[in-house]
Structure 1
Amino acid sequence: MNATRTVELDGHIIDSGAMQRAFGIVMDLGGTFEIETFDVGRRKEETSYCRMEVGADDEETLREILHELHQNGANLADPVDARVEPAPADQVVPAGFYSTTNHPTEIRYDGEWIPVEHVEMDCAIVVEQSSTSNQNSPSSGDVVEEDGDGEPVRARTKVLNAIREGDLVVTDEVGIRVKPPDRPRDASGPFGFMQGGVSAERPSESLIEEVAEALVETKERGESVLVVAGPAVIHAGGGDDLARLVREGYVDILSAGNGFATHDIERGLYGTSLGMDMETMEHPRKGHKHHIYTISEVIRAGGIEPAVEDGLIAEGVMYECVENDVPYVLAGSIRDDGPLPDTITDAVEAQEAIREQAREADLVLMLSTLLHSVAVGNCLPSTTKVVCVDINPATVTQLLDRGSSQAIGMVTDVGTFVPLLADAVVETGE
């Protein structure tokens, strides 16, 4: 072997499978490893530490191995300062830029480790100094270091379309430290029962009770709950109970699409959801037009909030959001009818609005919406608790496969889940 580097793993690396994955990465990519130090935690609450030398036939293969190990939480044992290069133009990053994971990340700058703000997968890391731009000056509460000249320094993620010419973009993997959340064997870790995975075989009632407890505990700590909801919530009969959760103060932020809001308001106006009578499950004459009538009436009123103030909208999830000052983002789609005036039709603008929601959330409940769940999941750090519920197993597994490994999945009917959850939350919170 002509090229070698030493890496370290620490934490619950055995229980979580991180150590096994690291060994597999090295062998699958044609490298070798030699264990130098291996300290095993001998109790459930104890962590383990592994230091190993990784080798490859050439530097290019070694870089590929180190990249994959880095994504898995293995960090170089002899870090140097992160490499930065100025962006050559707006929305253009330097070749070889570092693409982020959703795990807590630090970069080494001027000999000091700086936490990266707003951790999100598939972004660039930009290093900023207060003297470079007033716009880049750190605000109150931001974590900053000072460079050798005493200037405050910060590091934060930026999506590619937000990159501006001259931004100092981190390249390569050197000087970067990634720390995936620990996954201890028992419920003592930061996620408690939320250990990831998906199964339709889990005892749903007991798991719903645990989700309810997590939701109540989140609120008791003064933290925020984000609900990501699809039209199926209304269509399957869960609208009233989701509205109850909003009314009782257990939903702080709502992320949805034009279809969800339209179905919800249509139900209040006509008693139908996408033309189907919610009581008889029949399709009344002209029922298929109710959703477009609904959109027309809300447009006439000037939006959802004016429609609530005028008495047009008098019940439902959107009504409770307006009445209880729960902020919502309705992200548009190419398939939308109308759409409602509140729907954000610019995809980049909608993405940024969702990103702001994700940064505020401490627990996210995703209800029967594949594309919206994945979109929000992409914006979340791995430290945010996520519960994804869908009758289609592919929705939950795709969320996990896309990188939201902290999510737990429940394959069940959302029309059954939401009422049971609302009952359990109200009972637990009393």
Structure 2
Amino acid sequence: MSAIPAYTPPDFSRPDLAAAPAARTEPAPADGVLPQGFHATSNHPEYLHLGDGDWLLARESRMDAVMILRGREVGVMEPRLVKRGDPVVVGRSEEGEEGIYVHPAGFSSPAAATGKFAFRTRGTRETPFSRSYDELYAVLRHDRERGHIVWVLGPAVAFDKDSRDAMQFMVEHGYCHALLAGNALATHDLEAARFRTGLGQDIYTQVLQPHGHYNHLDIINEVRLHGSIPRAIRELGLSDGIIPACERQGVPYVLAGSIRDDGPLPGVISDACLAQDAMRVHARRATTVIALATQLHTIAFGNMVPGYHVTAEDVVRPVFFYVVDMTEFSTDKLANRGSLQAVAILTNAQDFMVNLWHNLR
């Protein structure tokens, strides 16, 4: 499919790579402590030289992690998970000098011919996004059956009836294989299912309801009374919305808590490391990520997701990462944190979701 470019691996017959030494490891001196000179991974494909011209691609990589090399197996893990004695790959060069090669150009396509000066070389509020949308539709249709589509959502998606209905459609029709969010998205989605409001406003008319500012607190209290989100959905008869759709369809969702959470809802993971571990499960499988109106969760997940995915058939393909927000600041922030593969679409949550809904159904 044209929307998913082919991967061009490095040419390991190049004289410099053919002469590269084998990658070295040193044992971790203690749990969660790395040896001096450890190699930190990027989100690009990275190879280790095992000797005799044999190079091994690190699967399931991520930014700011380390490689553990045991025989012919390389694992990538967060430094806090390293155990005493683990063989950690060491080396700070990335061109093969120490048996480590980082390959950022595997999915590159020939650049359009331009002169030395050109306008609009980066995405801004003035950028037309028609092609980005068309590519996204094609990717979603492909990955619906042959990938793992992860959504990272802020609560704005649940504040509007149409965007909430559109996201429910994505879940029910196979365009969402995992959902990552915080306490707020689930709270306001369940508030809408119970009271038809989002932070006290009618989700269609946006009219403030009498005592509506209590509604999100009331739904948190009711869910806590029932003991869990699934049980509350069942016993309160909540039938519409994003979280009820995830429950019906068996789509996993990870709710990562923050210091400002009300409640929080049962099931929200308040330990940051445990939340990261739960999100990382889906980062390892992700082939397409859509991060919508949530800056902190977007940056967090962006740091966990590599720019490539190795399929069960050992095919290397890109991981598509779309960042949707109204401001350039939010989308630039992710790029500034190293996720250069992210494609920005600058619009509001409702317009984006309804656009997808109309073109995919």
TM-score range, shorter chain: 0.7 to 0.9
CA distance in 1, matches of 2:129, 2:140: 16
Q: Which residue of 2 aligns with 1:159?
A: 78
Match of 1:198 among 123, 146, 150: 123
CA distance in 1, matches of 2:178, 2:9: 36
Equivalent residue of 2:132, what SS? Answer: helix
Deviation for aligned residue 1:376: 0.7
Deviation for aligned residue 1:244: 1.1
Q: Gaps spanning 5+ residues in structure 1: where? A: 1-44, 54-74, 130-152, 188-195
Is the alpha carbon distance of 1:373 and 1:104 closer, same or farther for their aligned partners in structure 2, counting shifts above 3 Å?
Answer: same
Q: Which residue of 2 aligns with 1:354?
A: 279
Is 1:88 matched up with 2:29?
yes
Deviation for aligned residue 1:96: 1.1
Is 1:419 matched up with 2:357?
no
Match of 1:114 among 49, 53, 56: 56
Normalising to structure 1: TM-score of the pair?
A: 0.72
Deviation for aligned residue 1:52: 12
Deviation for aligned residue 1:93: 0.2
Is the alpha carbon distance of 1:166 and 1:417 closer, same or farther for their aligned partners in structure 2, counting shifts above 3 Å?
Answer: same
Match of 1:402 among 314, 337, 345: 337
Is the contact made by 2:160 and 2:204 (CA closer than 8 Å) also made in structure 1? Answer: no
CA distance in 1, matches of 2:60, 2:143: 20
CA distance in 1, matches of 2:167, 2:122: 25
CA distance in 2, matches of 1:208, 1:340: 34
CA distance in 2, matches of 1:325, 1:318: 10
String of CA shifts for 1:102-159, please: whole Å, max 9, x gaps: 1111111244322213211101111125xxxxxxxxxxxxxxxxxxxxxxx3111111
CA distance in 1, matches of 2:275, 2:133: 31
CA distance in 2, matches of 1:315, 1:406: 34
Mapping of residues 260-409 of structure 1, within 5 Å: 260-383=185-308, 384-409=319-344
Is the contact made by 2:183 and 2:261 (CA closer than 8 Å) also made in structure 1? Answer: yes
The code of the aligned residue for 2:284 comes to: R
C-alpha RMSD of matched pairs (Å): 2.5
Q: Which residue of 1 aligns with 2:90?
A: 171
Is the contact made by 1:363 and 1:385 (CA closer than 8 Å) also made in structure 2? Answer: yes
The code of the aligned residue for 2:19 comes to: D
Is the contact made by 1:197 and 1:409 (CA closer than 8 Å) also made in structure 2? Answer: no
Is the contact made by 2:10 and 2:103 (CA closer than 8 Å) also made in structure 1? Answer: no
Is 1:182 matched up with 2:107?
yes
Give the number of the structure whose alpha-carbon radius of gyration is greater.
1
Quick one: higher RCO (CA 8 Å, sep 6+), 1 or 2?
2
Deviation for aligned residue 1:197: 5.2
CA distance in 1, matches of 2:19, 2:346: 45
Higher strand share: 1
CA distance in 2, matches of 1:225, 1:331: 18
Deviation for aligned residue 1:331: 0.6
Q: Which residue of 1 aligns with 2:311?
A: none
Q: Which residue of 1 aligns with 2:165?
A: 240
Is the alpha carbon distance of 1:201 and 1:404 closer, same or farther for their aligned partners in structure 2, counting shifts above 3 Å?
Answer: same
Q: Which residue of 2 aligns with 1:150?
A: none
CA distance in 2, matches of 1:260, 1:47: 40
CA distance in 2, matches of 1:199, 1:125: 36
Q: Which residue of 1 aligns with 2:116?
A: none
The code of the aligned residue for 2:283 comes to: A
Is the contact made by 1:208 and 1:424 (CA closer than 8 Å) also made in structure 2? Answer: no
Q: Which residue of 2 aligns with 1:8?
A: none
Number of equivalences: 328
CA distance in 2, matches of 1:229, 1:163: 30
CA distance in 1, matches of 2:33, 2:171: 42
Normalising to structure 2: TM-score of the pair?
A: 0.85
CA distance in 2, matches of 1:279, 1:381: 38
Q: Percent identity?
A: 35
Mapping of residues 24-173 of structure 1, within 5 Å: 78-111=19-52, 112-129=54-71, 153-172=72-91, 173=93
CA distance in 2, matches of 1:201, 1:359: 34
String of CA shifts for 1:75-115, please: whole Å, max 9, x gaps: 86631011211010000001111111111111112443222
CA distance in 2, matches of 1:399, 1:216: 26
